[in-house]
Amino acid sequence: MAHADDIEIGCGGSLLRLAPEVPNLVVRWIVVSGAGLREAEARNRASALLENVSEKQIEVLGYRDAYFPFQGADIKDCFEGVKRDFDTSHILIHWQGDAHQDHRLVAELTHNTFRDHLVLEYEIPKYDGNLGNPGFFVPLTQAQIRRKLETIGQHFSSQRGRSWFSNETSSRRAKRCRMQRHHSGSRSPPPAHKTTRSGR
């Protein structure tokens, strides 16, 4: 993901559902930007969200927020390194039509690098104009929605002054679990009961 709170906002509820449903789940969690408080938030929130996942690796790469288009070659090299040393079956990443330049670049480089993988794109539902036409929705329980909202509020104190950062806004949009699915190569898409890996 591009920033510390992206995957939590985009598909945190789906990860909360996925963890107990998929035995022996292995997660490599990569945040492309983050320094100081934002890095601490990223690591703490990932640990909280993945507390029921026994095998996980959390990385914060530290690239400069909002400048990804000018650091694309270095970010691409990092992605190629991940592809070499980690055999992943599914990838969660930003929607390619996202209006934010960092989100969009990370999505484009993901598809460019992981050509034979199932790539599942999520939206960052901060503004309605930044939403696309999702391929499927992921149902969440009220308990999963509450936990997602509580943990975002607890671990991302740096974002509390943002106009979109409110329980009312997050609750309304957390119930609209939207995802795009893109698949290349021969790997089969997951069965229906496992598509929660790609939701919000």
Q: Is the pLDDT of residue 74 over 80?
A: yes
Mean pLDDT of 142-150: 88
Which domains are seen in the chain, by residue range? 6-198 (3.40.50.10320)
pLDDT band (50, 70, 90) for residue 160: low
Helix (H, G, I), strand (E, B) or coil at 29: strand
Instruction: Give the residue among 64, 117, 71 at the shortest CA–CA distance from 93.
Output: 117
Average the pLDDT over each of 67-71, 86-90, 118-122, 154-158 and give the range with the smallest value.
Answer: 154-158
pLDDT at 135: 81
Count of Cβ atoms closer than 10 Å to residue 110 Cβ: 21
Q: Average per-residue pLDDT in the chain?
A: 81
Phi, psi of 57 (to 5 degrees): -135, 120
Residue 71 contacts residue 64 (beta carbons within 8 Å): yes
Q: Is the pLDDT of residue 195 over 70?
A: no
Residues in contact with 104: Cβ distance below 8 Å, sequence separation at least 6, in sequence order: 94, 96, 97, 98
